[in-house]
Structure 1
Amino acid sequence: MTTPADAQQRLNEAITRLTGPGGRFEITAEEVLGATMPVLRHRGRAVGDLVAASRAWKDRDYLVTADRRISYEQHADAVAALATALRDEYGVVRGDRVALLAANCPEWVTAFWAAQCLGAVAVGLNSWWMPREIEYGLRHSRPRVLIVDAKRAALLADIDTAEIAVLTVEDHVPRLVAAHSGAELPRAEVDEDDPSVILYTSGTSGRPKGALHSQRNLLAVVDYHRFSDAMAAAFTGRAYSETEPSPLRYLLTSPLFHIASLHNLVVPRLATGSTVVMYQGAFAADTVLGLIERERVTNWGAVPTMAARLLEHGDIDNYDLSSLTAFALASAPSSIALKDRLRQRFPFARDALVDSYGLTECSTAIAVATTAELEQYPGTLGRPILTVSVEIRDPFGERVPDGTEGEVCVRSPFVMLGYWADEAATAAAITPDRWLRTGDFGVLEDGRLRLTGRRSDLILRGGENVYPTEIEQCLDEHPAVAECAVVGVPHEDLGQEVAAIVVVRPGAGVDEAQLHEYAAARLSYYKVPGRWRITSEPLPRNATGKVIRRGLTA
C-alpha cells in the first residue's frame, strides 16, 4: 500500500532528478536584470522561435473551435504569411506594438504569433472595454497596427486612429494571409529580456496598468509547463519525450487577453504539441459540456464563476465527461465551500481538482495546490512553483516568520519587466532587487501559502483590520448563498463598517437576521457585517472573473 509519505518521497526524487545537475530542467543561479535568482540552465531565448519548432507537430490539431480545425502546419503557414504582411506592408519591426482587440478566435492567436516572429510587442486589449477605455489603451500602448473584430471595430468610430493601421479579423487578416501564402517565416533577433507582450491589469480600482512581459517571462512559463508534464510522467512511470506530441486536449474558456489563456494555454501548447479547444461566445454550461464531450477534453482551467454555474446545471449526467482528468480553478479566489461542492457533484473533481494563485504581473501561477493538499489543508494555495521565491513581509519590507500575516512578495523569472510607460508604478511594485510586492496579504505555513486578503480591499473598522476574503468564504458555506462580496462603507464612529452583498440561490429563503446569526457564530464580532443587501442579481465581475467591488454598497 502506498502511503502519503511514500508518494512524497517519489515526488521529491523525481524533482531532484529533473532539476539537479545534468537534468533536463537543471536549475542554476544567474543574474536577471541586476538580481541573482534561480533559472533553468537549458532554455530558449526568443518566443518567436516556438513557431518554427511547432512544424514538427505537422497535421495535429493546434486550434479547434465549434466549426474549425487548424493544424500546426496550417497555423505556422498562416503566421508566416501574416508576419510577412505586417513587416512588408505595414512596416512592423522589432519593438513596435501590435494591438489585438477581438473576441477569442484563431486569428487572434495567429496575429499574436506573427508579432512574436517580428520581435514586436503584442498588446492584448480587453475585448470587454467600451470606447473610452479602448481609447485609453490605444493612447497608452501606441500600437503601429490594431487587429480588431467587427464588433469592436464599430466602437472605434469616435476614436482617432489616424496613426494606427486598423486591420479587421473578418476581412483584412484572411486577405493578407492569402496574399502572402507560402512566405518564409520571419525571424527577429531579440534579447532574452526584450519585451514580448503587454497585458492590462484588471483595473478594479483606477485605470488599468500595462504589465510588460519579456521573452524570458513567456519562455519560463513554457518550461514550467514542460516540467509539469515531465513530473507527471515521472510520477506515474510513463516515458517523457519533448519530441513526441502530447495527447492532452485543453479547453480554453477565458479571454485571450488574460495570462490563463495566453501565457498558460495557447503559448505552451504550441511547444508541447497539445490541442487547444477554443470556446467562443458567452459562457453557457450546455455548450461547454457538449464541447468537452465532443472533443474529449482532458484539461480545463475554469474561472470559479464558471464552475459555480456548472453546479447549478441540472443535466450534467447527460454528458460524457470521462475524458476530463485535470480540472483547475484559476484567475479569481474560490472558497473552500465551492471546492467541496465541486467534489461532491463531479467525479472528475474528486481526483483532479487543483487550485492556484497568480497575478498578471507574474505571468503564471505563483503557487499551486494539488488535489491532496486541498483535501489535507483546506484553504491552502499550495507551495511556490519551480524557480519561484515567496516571502511574507511587514509594512517596512522586512521578512516575517512563518505563520505571521503580511504582504506576499515574489521573485522569479516569471515576474514582469514592469508597467509599460509608468516608471512610478513600476518602482512602487518592484524593489531594486526584483521582488514584486503583490498587494495581497497572506501567511506561509510549512511552505504553503494561504491568502487572507488584498490590501486594496482592506476594511479599517474601529482600528481593526478586516479582510473581506475571510468573511466571504464563511458566508459562501451557507447553503442559501450563491455568491457574496464584502466591502467597507463609511461609518461616523468606526471609520468604516463591514457590509455584505449576498446573492441567494434560486428558491432559497434567507433573511438578514439569519445571515447575521450564521456569521456571528463563526466570526469575531468586529468581522460580522453590520449592513446587508440580499439580492438575486449576480455580482458584477470583470473579464478575469474577479468581483468589481468599486460601486458595491449594501
Structure 2
Amino acid sequence: MTNPVDLRARAAQATARLTGPGGPFETVVENVLGAPVPVLRHRRRSLTEVLAASKELGGRDYLVTENRRLSYAEHAAQARALAAALRDRFDVGVGDRVGILAANTQEWVVSFWATQLLGAIAVGYNAWWTAREIGYGLGHTTPAVLIVDDKRARQVAELDITVPVLTMERDIPALIAEFAEAPSPAVTVDEDDPAIILYTSGTSGRPKGAVHSQRNLLAVIDYHRFNDALAAEIRGERPDDGPRGRRFLLTSPLFHIASLHNLVIPRMVTGDTAVIYQGGFDADRVAALIERERVTNWGAMPTMATRLLEADLSRYDLSSLAAFSLNSAPSSAALQQRLRERLPVAKTALVTSYGMTECSTAATLASPAELAAHPDTVGRPVIGVSLEIRDAQGNSVEEGVEGEICVRGPYVMLGYWNDTAATSAAITADRWLRTGDIGVLEEGRLRLSGRRSDLILRGGENVYPTEVEQCLDEHPAVRECAVIGIADEDLGQRVAALVVVEDTERVSERELLDFARERLAYYKVPARWLLTTTALPRNATGKVMRAAIAETLGEH
C-alpha cells in the first residue's frame, strides 16, 4: 500500500489546484450567520436549482428498490406534481413543515424534493418511534401535512391530531396523477433558510430537531463532488462533473444524514443511482442485492458489516464493490481486519469517518492508507471544516491533549428547532459546534477517546439515558433508576438499566420491559435489567456515579 505520507502530499497538491484561484472548487471566506466560513465561490444557491438540473439526466436510474425503478426524469415530474398538490390542496408554502414518517421508500425521497420546491421544511421523523414519541414530534414541529406509510398510519391513528395525513401507498400516487399537469411552484429561498429538520436524541430527555439549511445541504453535495474530483486528480485524470454511473447501496434510514444528506441528495448532482434496501437487515438479502444491482459503493454501520461477515459470501458475486465505508459508529481494528480478509474491496478501499447529525456530514475522513496504518483514527478534517480540541474553558489545546471536539464550517446546522437554550449550548456565538465528544489530535489525525457524555451508541442509533430514565420513572413502582450502555459485540452497545424499587417482589423485569416497549422505540428499551432496593450510588454533589453502576451491572 502506498505510503500515507506520500498520499497526503499528493492530496495536498491536488487540493490546492482544485480550491485555488480559478479552480473548479475555488474557495473564499464569507460571512455566514456572523462568522467567517469558507465557501465555494461558484456554488448553487438552492436545492430547487439542483432538482431543475437533474432533468438533464433523463432516463438514468435515480432510485431503485428490489422491485421498482425510478428515473431522474420520472422523479422530477413526480416531485413537481406532488409539490403542486401540497400547494393547491393543502396550502403548503414557504416555511411550513411537511412531516415524513415512513420506512425507506421512493415516495420518501419524492416527498422531500417536493417540499423543497415549495420552500417548505421537510421533517424526517424517526420511523421507529412509538405513537407517544410520534405525538411529541408532531406537537414540536407542527407540520401542515404528515406523509406516512401504512404501518406508521396505524400508529398515527392512535393519536388525537388534526393534521392531514397522506399515505404513501394510496394518497401520494393519486395526488401525483391528479396534479401531473399543474404548473410548477416558483418560490425564492435564501441559502440560510431551513430545508429540513432531523431528530436527534437529547440530554434533556426529549428528542431535539436539528435544523439544516439550504446552504448545509448544498455544501454536502459539493463535499462529495470535491471528493470525486480529488480522487481523479490524484489518479492523474481530469476532474469531470458528468454522470459516473455508480450505484450506491442505501441501508440506513432516510431520516439519518448518512442516507439522505450524504447519499440520496448528492446523487442528484453526480448522476449516480441510489439502490434502496428495504426491510430489516438481512445479510443474504443485502449480498444478493449487491450482486443483482452491481452495487459499487456502500457505507455501512459496523453492525451491518459484522453481520455481513457472518454470511457465506462465497455464494455471491460482490466484485462490483469499489468503495466501502464504515459509518455512524466507531469500528474496531479487529473488524477492519476481518473485512480486509473477507471482502476484496476492503483491502484497498476501506474508509471511515466522524460526523454527527448536527454537522450534516462527516467532519473528518480517514483514507484507506491512513486507516490501515492507524486503525483507531477517524481521519482528518474534510474540505471546509475547521476542527479544534478545546478544554473545559473553551480554549484550544495542543496536539496530543484530550479535550472536546469542536468544528466549524458550512455544514454546521442552524440550530435546534424551537430550542434556544440547547442551540446556545451547542453552538458558540462565532458558530463553532461543540460536539460534546472527547478526542485528541495526533499528527493532524483525530482519534476519539470518549463519546458524548453518557451517550449509548446502539447499532448506529443514539440513545441518551435521560430519556429512558424519565420514561421508567413514570412507572409507579420505580423510585429511581440509571441507564447505561454495556459492551456488545454485535451492536457496539446495548442499553442496560439499574432500577430502584420499593419491593422487588411486587414488580418484575417483564412488567418494566413491557412498560418501556409501549413508550419507547425498540432500540431504546433496556436489554439488561437489574432491580434493587438499594439507592443509586451518588457523589458528593448528588450526581449518579455511572461508573459504579456499570460495575454493578457487569457483575450480574
TM-score (norm 2): 0.84
Show the counterpart of 1:61. 61
Does residue 29 of the first structure (1) align with residue 51 of the second (2)?
A: no
Q: Which amino acid aligns with 2:391?
A: D
Tell which deviates more after alignment, 358-367 or 35-44: 35-44
Q: Which amino acid aligns with 1:285?
A: A
Show the counterpart of 2:370. 373
Show the counterpart of 1:546. none
State the distance in 1 between where 2:455 and 2:78 align: 48
Q: Which amino acid aligns with 2:214?
A: Q
Could you tell me how far 1:339 is from its partner in structure 2?
Answer: 1.4
State the distance in 1 between where 2:60 and 2:254 align: 22
Q: Which amino acid aligns with 2:293?
A: E
Show the counterpart of 1:436. 433
Does residue 210 of the first structure (1) align with residue 225 of the second (2)?
A: no
Show the counterpart of 2:279. 281
Aligned partners of 1:394 and 1:406 also within 8 Å = yes
Show the counterpart of 1:241. 240
State the distance in 2 between where 1:431 and 1:120 align: 27
Could you tell me how far 1:486 is from its partner in structure 2?
Answer: 9.4
Residue of structure 2 aligned with 1:496, choices 545, 552, 555: 545
Aligned partners of 2:4 and 2:369 also within 8 Å = no
Show the counterpart of 1:408. 405
Alignment of 1:182-193 (within 5 A): 182-193=181-192
State the distance in 1 between where 2:67 and 2:188 align: 37
Aligned partners of 2:149 and 2:169 also within 8 Å = yes
Does residue 335 of the first structure (1) align with residue 332 of the second (2)?
A: yes
Show the counterpart of 2:76. 76
Q: Which amino acid aligns with 1:201?
A: T
Could you tell me how far 1:491 is from its partner in structure 2?
Answer: 4.3
Tell which deviates more after alignment, 331-340 or 370-379: 331-340
Aligned partners of 2:537 and 2:548 also within 8 Å = no
State the distance in 1 between where 2:496 and 2:355 align: 23
Alignment of 1:93-492 (within 5 A): 93-162=93-162, 164-203=163-202, 206-242=205-241, 244-313=242-311, 315-457=312-454, 483-484=492-493, 490-491=536-537
State the distance in 1 between where 2:235 and 2:11 align: 10
State the distance in 2 between where 1:31 and 1:442 align: 28
Tell which deviates more after alignment, 252-261 or 5-14: 5-14
State the distance in 2 between where 1:130 and 1:488 align: 20
- Go from structure 1 to structure 2 and tell me whether the alpha carbon gap of 1:298 and 1:500 turns closer, same or farther (over 3 Å shift): farther
Could you tell me how far 1:159 is from its partner in structure 2?
Answer: 1.4
State the distance in 1 between where 2:491 and 2:431 align: 40
> Can you list the C-alpha shifts for 1:512-532, whole angstroms capped at 9, x where unaligned?
xxxxxxxxxxxxxxxxx5752
Q: Which amino acid aligns with 2:107?
A: E
Show the counterpart of 2:529. none
State the distance in 1 between where 2:138 and 2:538 align: 42
- Go from structure 1 to structure 2 and tell me whether the alpha carbon gap of 1:530 and 1:67 turns closer, same or farther (over 3 Å shift): same
Among all aligned residue pairs of Structure 1 and Structure 2, give the percentage whose two residues are the same amino acid.
60
State the distance in 2 between where 1:58 and 1:182 align: 18
Q: C-alpha root-mean-square deviation of aligned residues, in Å?
A: 2.3
Q: Which amino acid aligns with 2:307?
A: R
> Can you list the C-alpha shifts for 1:25-47, whole angstroms capped at 9, x where unaligned?
11111101001121111111111
Show the counterpart of 1:532. 554
Aligned partners of 1:486 and 1:500 also within 8 Å = no
Aligned partners of 2:100 and 2:147 also within 8 Å = yes
Runs of 4+ in 1 over 6 A off after TM superposition: 486-489, 492-495
Aligned partners of 1:457 and 1:487 also within 8 Å = no
> Can you list the C-alpha shifts for 1:217-274, whole angstroms capped at 9, x where unaligned?
00000000110111111112233322x2121110000000000000000100011110
Aligned partners of 2:2 and 2:369 also within 8 Å = no
TM-score (norm 1): 0.84
Could you tell me how far 1:158 is from its partner in structure 2?
Answer: 2.8
SS of aligned partner of 2:378: coil
State the distance in 2 between where 1:357 and 1:220 align: 17
Could you tell me how far 1:331 is from its partner in structure 2?
Answer: 1.1
Could you tell me how far 1:366 is from its partner in structure 2?
Answer: 0.5
State the distance in 2 between where 1:430 and 1:2 align: 39
State the distance in 2 between where 1:417 and 1:247 align: 33
Q: Which amino acid aligns with 1:200?
A: Y
State the distance in 1 between where 2:546 and 2:148 align: 44
Q: Which amino acid aligns with 1:30?
A: E
Could you tell me how far 1:482 is from its partner in structure 2?
Answer: 8.1
State the distance in 1 between where 2:158 and 2:552 align: 45
Could you tell me how far 1:488 is from its partner in structure 2?
Answer: 10
State the distance in 2 between where 1:173 and 1:335 align: 43
Show the counterpart of 2:50. 50
Q: Which amino acid aligns with 1:152?
A: R
- Go from structure 1 to structure 2 and tell me whether the alpha carbon gap of 1:288 and 1:202 turns closer, same or farther (over 3 Å shift): farther
Could you tell me how far 1:322 is from its partner in structure 2?
Answer: 0.5
SS of aligned partner of 1:350: helix
- Go from structure 1 to structure 2 and tell me whether the alpha carbon gap of 1:22 and 1:182 turns closer, same or farther (over 3 Å shift): same
Could you tell me how far 1:457 is from its partner in structure 2?
Answer: 2.1
Unaligned runs of 5+ in 2: 457-483, 499-535
- Go from structure 1 to structure 2 and tell me whether the alpha carbon gap of 1:317 and 1:207 turns closer, same or farther (over 3 Å shift): same
Show the counterpart of 1:20. 20
Could you tell me how far 1:8 is from its partner in structure 2?
Answer: 3.0
State the distance in 2 between where 1:225 and 1:184 align: 32
Aligned partners of 2:25 and 2:41 also within 8 Å = yes
Q: Which amino acid aligns with 2:199?
A: Y
Q: Which amino acid aligns with 1:225?
A: H
State the distance in 2 between where 1:316 and 1:417 align: 43
Could you tell me how far 1:375 is from its partner in structure 2?
Answer: 1.2
Q: Which amino acid aligns with 2:170?
A: D
- Go from structure 1 to structure 2 and tell me whether the alpha carbon gap of 1:317 and 1:202 turns closer, same or farther (over 3 Å shift): farther
Aligned partners of 1:285 and 1:309 also within 8 Å = yes
Aligned partners of 1:488 and 1:497 also within 8 Å = no
SS of aligned partner of 1:31: strand
State the distance in 2 between where 1:13 and 1:119 align: 39
SS of aligned partner of 1:77: helix
> Can you list the C-alpha shifts for 1:505-548, whole angstroms capped at 9, x where unaligned?
xxxxxxxxxxxxxxxxxxxxxxxx57526xxxxxxxxxxxxxxx
Show the counterpart of 1:514. none
Could you tell me how far 1:492 is from its partner in structure 2?
Answer: 7.2
State the distance in 2 between where 1:487 and 1:395 align: 29
Aligned length: 489
- Go from structure 1 to structure 2 and tell me whether the alpha carbon gap of 1:455 and 1:203 turns closer, same or farther (over 3 Å shift): closer
Could you tell me how far 1:93 is from its partner in structure 2?
Answer: 0.5
State the distance in 2 between where 1:131 and 1:227 align: 41
Aligned partners of 2:99 and 2:124 also within 8 Å = yes
Unaligned runs of 5+ in 1: 460-467, 502-528, 534-553
State the distance in 2 between where 1:148 and 1:500 align: 40
Aligned partners of 1:403 and 1:443 also within 8 Å = yes
State the distance in 2 between where 1:27 and 1:267 align: 22
